[in-house]
Amino acid sequence: MELGNTVVGDIDAVPGSVPGTPPVITAEEQARIHRRTLRVVILSQILGGAGLAAGISVGALLAQDMLGSDSLAGLPTGLFTLGSAAAAFLVGRSTRVLGRRLGLAAGFTAGGLGAVGVVVAAVADSVPLLFISLFIYGAGTATNLQTRYAGSDLAPAEKRGHGTSMAMVATTVGAVAGPNLIDPLGHLADNLGIPTLAGPFLLAAVAYLAAGVTLFLLLRPDPYLLARQIAGDDGPGGGTGPVLKPAGGAWVGAATMILTQMTMVAIMTMTPVHMRAHDHGMGAVGLVIGLHVASMWLPSLVTGRLVDSAGRVPVAVAAGVTLLAAGLTAALAPADSLVLLIVALMLLGLGWNLGLVSGTAMVVDATVPANRPQTQGTVDVGIALSGAVAGLASGAVMTATSYQILGVIGGVLSLLLIPALRWGRQGVRR
């Protein structure tokens, strides 16, 4: 392995290293490798953001058209979130043995193939194929989230929030561009003889596959494997030995991310359906979702440093308050008010961001390299499953009551963050 701008192969070949002992590597060299890792992660996240935007923007609308039912419009979110849970589990477990590069590359590739399947299902009007493809497509969503951990593997403790946030903020570029390309991608799909709402999944297929190739070729040296060697955790057996239990702060971080995910998914999933039912055009839907997604990722420019300076818990509490404001704004906004819907969805994205960055930092703080990826994978499974429940329930709740009631329920749910943080505050390190 050569450290530098050339591709690095076997991590055990770090100069001066012996398996089972920390490699000879200076702090300056570690910092340089970390910066290079962040550049690769940022590029992959730009592509990954474009891929995940398809499911957020038109997944519910495509299902509504193919199934002919509003009550099942939340099903796509539930399916690709279940697929996300499965992928999070597999990526987390495989990372401990194989490192970040192979697991992340495989996850994005699976997501791209799932997007291709959605397009084929729309053309063939095959609901079973749609369901299977959405499940596989969810692997891209999980991988996009798992990639944020690669940004913190080699970061010093006092900069973990920043490392995570830089990986996340790059997603903004693709994730904002994706929803705002709904109209042109719809026209492209029409010209190709593909149903209009399947157009964004064409972009998702290309973006996810490109992200997978980028990580496979460029994420070298593998940041996780190098971090294990630096910590002296790469003894005989590599990543196959027993796993130590993480500290309690990991589960506080998990609770923070799960509750923010449930609130965000429930309200976000049904907003396009609510808008179309009140005569908003697809351009307006794309604008609202695009700004929502921007608010999910772009604040990471600030929130990472805020988590490092102000502390994990205060930022997590701010997440709960912000999500409550989002739910109430969505509930009180007149159905024809595009401006208030934009405000509600931007607050929703900001609250999610605050919860995810602070919760991620708690999980990293409470783990060591030997148990970190497996814990991270388990936590992300919980996040994905909670999102699946929220996505599936949101359509039923809105059909039985209204979008306004859904907004109130989501906002109130986020307040559970405060007692959860109070209960677990002793396990959280600032």
What is the four-CA torsion angle of 358, 364, 366, 369, rounded to 10 degrees? 180
In a domain, 304, yes or no: yes
Rg (CA), the chain: 21
In a domain, 147, yes or no: yes
Output the DSSP codes for 61-118.
HHHHHHH--STTTTHHHHHHHHHHHHHHHHHHHHHHHH-HHHHHHHHHHHHHHHHHHH
C-alpha distances in Å from residue 298, one per residue of 9, 102, 202, 267: 33, 27, 24, 20
Sign of the C-alpha dihedral computed for residues 28, 236, 157 and 168 taken in this order: positive
Domain residue limits at 403:
11-427
Pick the residue with more confidence: 428 or 205?
205
CA 315/CA 304 separation, integer angstroms: 10
- Which pLDDT band, with edges at 50, 70 and 90, does 139 fall under? very high
CA 30/CA 285 separation, integer angstroms: 44
In a domain, 5, yes or no: no
The answer, yes or no, to whether residue 197 has pLDDT greater than 80, is yes
In a domain, 157, yes or no: yes
pTM for this structure? 0.74
Pick the residue with more confidence: 429 or 150?
150
pLDDT digits (tens, 9 = 90+) for 371-412: 888 888 889 889 888 888 888 788 889 989 999 999 999 999
The conformation of residue 120, written as its DSSP 8-state character, comes to H
Q: What is the pLDDT of residue 17?
A: 47
CA 153/CA 332 separation, integer angstroms: 43
pLDDT digits (tens, 9 = 90+) for 5-62: 333 334 444 444 444 455 557 888 888 998 899 899 989 988 888 887 766 667 777 8
End-to-end CA distance of the chain: 36
In a domain, 4, yes or no: no
In a domain, 6, yes or no: no
For residues 146-175, average pLDDT: 77
- How many domains, in total, are found in the chain? 1
In a domain, 3, yes or no: no
pLDDT digits (tens, 9 = 90+) for 204-236: 899 999 999 999 999 999 999 998 888 776 544
pLDDT digits (tens, 9 = 90+) for 228-279: 888 776 544 445 444 556 766 788 899 999 999 999 999 998 898 899 888 8
Instruction: Output b/e per residue, 109-133; b: 16+ Cβ within 10 A.
Output: bbbbbbbbbbbbbbeeeeeebbbbb
For residues 128-147, average pLDDT: 89
Sign of the C-alpha dihedral computed for residues 78, 105, 128 and 286 taken in this order: positive
CA 70/CA 72 separation, integer angstroms: 5
**CATH code of the domain covering residue 27:** 1.20.1250.20
- Which pLDDT band, with edges at 50, 70 and 90, does 127 fall under? confident
pLDDT digits (tens, 9 = 90+) for 318-372: 999 999 999 999 999 998 899 999 999 999 999 999 999 999 888 888 888 878 8
Q: Tokens 């239990």 label which residue?
A: 245
In a domain, 296, yes or no: yes
CA 250/CA 399 separation, integer angstroms: 36
C-alpha distances in Å from residue 403, one per residue of 191, 197, 258, 282: 35, 23, 22, 19
Structure tokens at 329: 């704004």
- Which pLDDT band, with edges at 50, 70 and 90, does 179 fall under? low
Structure tokens at 98: 């194989």
DSSP E strand stretches across 135-272 = none
For residues 277-305, average pLDDT: 85
The answer, yes or no, to whether residue 426 has pLDDT greater than 60, is no
CA 208/CA 32 separation, integer angstroms: 27
pLDDT digits (tens, 9 = 90+) for 72-126: 666 776 787 788 888 888 888 888 888 999 999 999 999 999 999 999 999 998 9
Instruction: Report which secondary-structure segment, H or E, holds 243.
Output: none
Structure tokens at 50: 């474009």
Pick the residue with more confidence: 94 or 427?
94
Q: What is the pLDDT of residue 259?
A: 93
Q: What is the pLDDT of residue 417?
A: 84
Pick the residue with more confidence: 144 or 426?
144
Q: What is the pLDDT of residue 4?
A: 37
